[in-house]
């Protein structure tokens, strides 16, 4: 059964319709890369899935449960199953790296302190930053901060991880360390939806690539097929622009 | 008990409010003049002056206004000067205002990028010319909103002059409240009058602040 | 004309001064603790992005009126209103209670505006990240929004607390036995008026500096520190 089911999703910002009817099913363990020009609605789609954006019509179901915006309890439940990593990391500056990771499991899942810390240390080790447990975000490089952000999202043990252009704000030489962590997650069977500009990474790791254009799913398919034989002129144009 | 109608109360309070306004303006104008001197002295970089002005500011910001007024009152008496409440309150509030205004203005001048100083001295302007043509015109624009805002503090400060016998709004209010045994009503009216004096000034200061930020 | 200043006569009355300092500190501490809570609550009600979208309009207007009223009237009038006015309405208050109530109401209004500025400066990404981690609105506010906001406005808040502490000198006018009342008492005994207020002024200065240092340390340690 699909872990995320989207049907006829429409979203507008005021008069501007940004998502013009999205249909998408995501299977557990799938890695989906979403590409497209800025303004095509990619980030908005992602933010609809964890409820940061409210959509006007259509249905969105995660793990069999439909998204109910007005129900705070339902939203909280949803966000325990769907994690998000942001372009600007958004680490909490007043908490250490370790405390950043431990905050939500402690408050939401009521994990006991010892188990929480052990879990946090394990996750930090998994992203290669075990020794930074007591450091503060502003003492780390961008790549390190983003890896901490990934560990923080993983601490809630989500079924789906949303990655919103997580390497776009990084200096080029730091991108690799973050992508390596994500590749590891993909290999471990995590369901990933990634908005990304890293085409090579998408080619290598994604099971499916979605090209969005003007608020619609314009083309969709396996990475090899999509990148080497784009069917529509818009995708051809997009890929050409990237090559230049 | 003296019979006072509401109109009697208001009439007496309005009368007293004149003195509040008068004292406020006097302290504000006087304080500004002294603050200007202090500011220029501080900016002139003469040895020891900066420290002296900073200490002056620290003292006036670290002692309650009430105590400052008492010191003015008793201090003047010590020197044999006629301690009319006007003089004591006027002097006390003037010095109080000068310390705060000097600090506000110093902050505004400090926020002018050092590049302005460097550029103007590279053009061979001397200190006085730098201040007059480059620095102060820019600093004044930034300084107007907080200065206007401080006027509100001065108006509120005049209420303490009542304690050293100055017949302004609060003192007259207290007297009437005692005479009529209706403190709730009388002090309520006193509060409303201060509000009517201060709130427009506060709004104006906020408006000026927004205008400045809109330009940035 | 020789002016003779006799500070010894004033310092001899050190028990009175000590009582005065004690009361000043008690008044300040209790009103700061309650006043901060009032300030945070009011800041939330009017905060754009916080209560401004949730709290009922009448509450927002009420809090707004409270804040503007207190900020545009002198503290001494607020104090007199509470101390002399409440009994006329049938509520008996002691001088000390009237002082604390007045100081709480006063600090609350100023703190509300200061803290509101801090709240509204919170980067949106912080709140989104916290929401994405399934924290409730209240958890987001307490754990993610409030500490950095307080840190940001801590200097202004500390300045305001020092102002309130110095403002407590007015409470001596209703016979609360704080420091300026002690000065008045001393000078009524030995007629050393100028010296009394110099000594008391110096003590206030020391208290102001010490309070500022203490609050800066305490803020970093307890409220928003690098934990």
- Give average pLDDT by consecutive 10-residue segment, chain A, 244 residues: 92 93 94 92 92 91 86 87 92 91 90 94 95 94 95 93 94 93 93 93 93 92 91 90 78
Cβ atoms C35, C111 nearer than 8 A: yes
Chain B adjacent subunits, 3+ CB pairs under 8 A: C
Which residues of chain A lie closer than 8 angstroms to C151, CB-CB? 94
Instruction: Give the CATH architecture of domain B6-215.
Output: Orthogonal Bundle (1.10)
What's the total number of domains in chain C? 1
Residues 91-130 of A with CB under 8 A from C: 91-96, 99, 103-104, 107-108
Contact flag for B and A (3+ C-beta pairs < 8 Å): no
Do C137 and A153 make contact, defined as CB atoms within 8 angstroms? no
Residues of B with CB under 8 A from a CB of C: 58-59, 61-68, 70-71, 74-75, 77-80, 152, 156-160, 162-163, 170, 173-174, 177, 181-184, 187-188, 190-191, 194-195, 198-199, 202
Say yes or no to pLDDT of B116 above 60.
Answer: yes
Subunit contact C74:B159, Cβ cutoff 8 A: yes
- Residue of C121, C124, C132 best to disrupt the A interface, most CBs of A under 10 A: C132
Percent of chain B with pLDDT over 70: 97
Please, which contacts does C156-163 make with residues 24 or more away whose CB atoms are closer than 8 Å?
Answer: C156/C114, C157/C111, C157/C114, C157/C115, C158/C211, C158/C212, C158/C215, C158/C216, C158/C219, C159/C212, C160/C107, C160/C110, C160/C111, C160/C114, C161/C28, C161/C32, C161/C107, C161/C211, C161/C215, C162/B62, C162/C208, C162/C211, C162/C212, C163/C110
The residue of chain C with its CA nearest to that of B56 is: C205
Kindly determine whether residue C201 and residue B68, on different chains, have CB atoms separated by under 8 Å. yes
- Which pLDDT score, from 0 to 100, does residue C226 have? 63
Residue contacts between B and C (CB atoms, under 8 Å): 120
Instruction: Tell me which residue range forms the domain holding C136.
Output: 7-223
Q: For residues A25 and A53, give the distance between their C-alpha atoms in angstroms, rounded to a whole number.
A: 19
DSSP designation for C222? I
Of C1, C162, C198, nearest to B71 by CB-CB distance is C198
Cα separation values, A83 from A23, B24, B120, C125, Å: 21, 60, 56, 15
Break chain A into its structural domains and give their ranges. 4-92+160-243
**What integer pLDDT is reported at residue C2 of this predicted model?**
62
Whether A174 contacts chain C with CB within 8 A: no
Residue C45 lies in a domain: yes
Q: What does the pLDDT read at residue C113?
A: 94
Q: For A50-64, how does the pLDDT look when each residue is reduced to its tens digit (9 = 90+)?
A: 888 999 999 999 988
Nearest-CA distance from B26 to chain C in Å? 18
Q: Thinking of the domain A4-92+160-243, which architecture would CATH place it in?
A: 3-Layer(aba) Sandwich (3.40)
Query: Could you tell me the CATH number of the domain that includes residue C28?
Result: 1.10.3720.10
Confidence of residue B131 (pLDDT cuts 50, 70, 90): confident
H or E stretch at A21: strand A16-26
Distance of CA B86 to the CA centre of its chain: 16
- B202 CB neighbours in chain C (<8 A) are 68, 71-72
Mean per-residue pLDDT pooled into runs of 10, chain C (227 residues): 76 90 96 96 92 89 96 96 89 92 96 94 94 93 93 92 95 94 91 90 95 91 70
Residue A142, H or E segment: helix A142-154
Residue C14, CB-side half-sphere exposure with 13 Å CA sphere: 3
Q: Do chains A and C touch (3 or more CB pairs under 8 A)?
A: yes
* Mean pLDDT of all residues belonging to chain B: 89
- Position C188 in a domain: yes
Q: Which tokens go with C124?
A: 């949106």
Closest CA to B34 of B134, B84, B103: B103
| Nearest CB partner across the interface for C72, out of B63, B188, B194 | B194
Q: What are the extents of the domains in chain B? A: 6-215
CB atoms under 10 Å from CB of A140, counted, come to 18
Q: Is residue C127 part of a domain?
A: yes
Chain A residues in contact with C128 (beta carbon < 8 A): 52, 84, 86, 90
Mean pLDDT along residues B93-122: 89
Confidence grade of residue B2 (pLDDT, cut at 50, 70, 90): low
pLDDT tens sequence across B47-87: 888 889 999 999 999 999 999 999 999 988 887 777 788 88
Inter-chain contact A88–C133, Cβ cutoff 8 Å? no
Tell me how far apart the 2 most distant CA atoms of chain C are, in Å: 78
CB contact under 8 A, A90 and C148: no
* Contacts of A among chains (3+ CB pairs under 8 A): C
Cβ C227–A96 below 8 Å, yes or no?
yes
Residues A101, A124 contacting (CB under 8 angstroms): yes
How high is the pLDDT of residue C61? 94
Q: Is residue C76 part of a domain?
A: yes
Using an 8 Å CB-CB cutoff, list chain C residues near A79.
Answer: 131-134
- Contact A94/C148, CB-based, under 8 Å? yes
Residue C1 domain-assigned?
no
The pLDDT, as a whole number, for residue C66 is 97
If interface means Cβ-Cβ distance under 8 Å, which residues of chain C face chain B?
Answer: 1, 3, 68-69, 71-78, 80-81, 84-86, 88-89, 162, 166-170, 172-173, 180, 183, 187, 193-194, 197-198, 200-201, 204-205, 208-209
Cβ of C73 within 8 Å of Cβ of B194? The answer is yes
Distance from CA of C60 to the nearest CA of A (A): 23
Residue B211, φ and ψ in degrees, nearest 5: -65, -40
Single pTM value for the model: 0.85
Average pLDDT over residues B119-128: 80
Q: Is A76 on the interface with C (CB under 8 A)?
A: yes
Q: Which residues of C touch A (CB under 8 A)?
A: 123, 125-126, 128-137, 139, 143-144, 147-148, 151, 224-227
Report ipTM (2 d.p.): 0.90
Closest among C163, C30, C200 to B157, alpha carbons compared = C163
Q: Which residues contact C31 (CB under 8 A, 6 or more apart)?
A: C100, C103, C104, C106, C107, C164
Residue A190: its pLDDT value, please?
93
* Facing residue for C88 by CB, picked from B173, B183, B190: B183
Give the ranges where chain C is alpha helix by DSSP (H). Answer: 7-11, 14-46, 51-54, 57-71, 75-80, 86-88, 95-120, 124-132, 137-139, 146-167, 179-190, 193-218
pLDDT of B215 strictly over 70? no
Asked whether residue C214 is domain-assigned, the answer is: yes
Instruction: Kindly list the residues from chain A whose CB atom is less than 8 angstroms away from the CB atom of residue C131.
Output: 51-52, 79
């Amino acid at each position: 059964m699909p872990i995320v089911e989207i049907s006829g999703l429409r979203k507008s910002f005021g008069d501007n319709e940004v998502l013009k009817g999205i249909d998408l099913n995501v299977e557990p363990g799938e890695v989906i890369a979403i590409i497209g020009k800025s303004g095509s609605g990619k980030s908005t789609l992602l933010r609809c899935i964890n409820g940061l954006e409210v959509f006007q019509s259509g249905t969105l179901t995660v793990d069999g449960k439909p998204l109910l915006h007005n129900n705070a309890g339902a939203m909280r439940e949803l966000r325990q199953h769907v994690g998000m990593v942001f372009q600007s990391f958004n680490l909490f500056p007043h908490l250490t790296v370790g405390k950043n990771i431990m905050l939500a499991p402690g408050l939401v899942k009521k994990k006991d302190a010892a188990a929480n810390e052990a879990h946090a240390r394990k996750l930090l080790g998994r992203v290669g930053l075990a020794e930074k447990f007591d450091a503060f975000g502003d003492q780390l490089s961008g790549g390190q901060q983003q890896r901490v952000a990934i560990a923080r999202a993983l601490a809630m043990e989500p079924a789906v991880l949303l990655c919103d252009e997580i390497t776009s704000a990084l200096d080029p030489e730091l991108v690799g360390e973050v992508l390596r962590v994500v590749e590891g997650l993909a290999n471990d069977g995590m369901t990933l939806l990634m908005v990304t500009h890293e085409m090579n990474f998408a080619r290598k790791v994604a099971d499916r690539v979605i090209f969005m254009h003007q608020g619609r799913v314009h083309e969709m398919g396996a990475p090899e097929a999509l990148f080497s034989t784009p069917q529509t002129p818009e995708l051809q144009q997009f890929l050409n622009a990237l090559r230049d | 008990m003296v019979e006072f109608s509401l109109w009697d109360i208001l009439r007496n309070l309005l009368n007293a409010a004149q003195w509040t306004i008068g004292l406020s303006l006097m302290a504000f104008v006087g304080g500004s003049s002294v603050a200007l001197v202090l500011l220029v002295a501080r900016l002139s970089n003469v040895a020891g002056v900066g420290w002296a002005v900073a200490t002056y500011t620290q003292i006036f910001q670290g002692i309650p206004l009430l105590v400052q007024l008492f010191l003015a009152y008793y201090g003047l008496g010590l020197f044999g000067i006629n301690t009319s409440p006007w003089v004591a309150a006027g002097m006390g509030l003037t010095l109080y205002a000068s310390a705060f205004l000097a600090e506000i203005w110093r902050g505004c001048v400090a926020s002018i990028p050092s590049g302005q100083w460097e550029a103007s001295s590279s053009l061979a302007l001397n200190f006085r010319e730098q201040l007059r043509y480059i620095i102060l015109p820019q600093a004044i624009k930034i300084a107007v909103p907080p200065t206007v805002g401080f006027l509100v503090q001065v108006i509120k400060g005049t209420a303490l002059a009542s304690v050293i016998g100055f017949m302004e709004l609060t003192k007259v209010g207290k007297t009437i409240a005692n005479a009529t045994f209706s403190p709730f009503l009388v002090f309520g009216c006193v509060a409303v009058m201060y509000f009517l004096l201060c709130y427009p000034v506060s709004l104006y200061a906020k408006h000026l602040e927004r205008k400045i930020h809109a330009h940035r | 004309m020789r002016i003779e200043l006799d500070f010894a006569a004033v310092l001899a009355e050190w028990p009175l001064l000590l009582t005065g300092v004690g009361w000043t500190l008690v008044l300040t501490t209790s009103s700061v603790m309650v006043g901060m809570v009032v300030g945070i609550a009011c800041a939330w009600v009017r905060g754009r992005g916080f209560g401004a979208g949730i709290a009922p309009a009448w509450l927002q207007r009420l809090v707004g009126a409270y804040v503007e009223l207190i900020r545009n009237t002198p503290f001494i009038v607020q104090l007199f209103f509470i101390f002399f006015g409440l009994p006329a309405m049938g509520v008996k208050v002691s001088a000390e209670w009237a002082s604390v109530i007045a100081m709480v109401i006063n600090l609350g209004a100023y703190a509300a505006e200061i803290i509101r500025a801090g709240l509204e400066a919170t980067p949106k990404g912080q709140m989104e990240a916290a929401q994405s981690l399934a924290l409730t609105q209240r958890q987001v506010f307490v754990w993610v929004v409030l500490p950095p906001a307080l840190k940001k406005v801590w200097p202004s808040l500390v300045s305001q607390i020092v102002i309130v502490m110095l403002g407590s000198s007015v409470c001596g006018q209703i016979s609360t036995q704080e420091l300026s009342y002690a000065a008045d008492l001393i000078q009524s005994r030995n007629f050393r008026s100028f010296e009394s207020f110099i000594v008391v002024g110096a003590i206030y200065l020391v208290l102001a500096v010490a309070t500022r240092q203490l609050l800066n340390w305490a803020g970093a340690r307890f409220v928003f520190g690098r934990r």
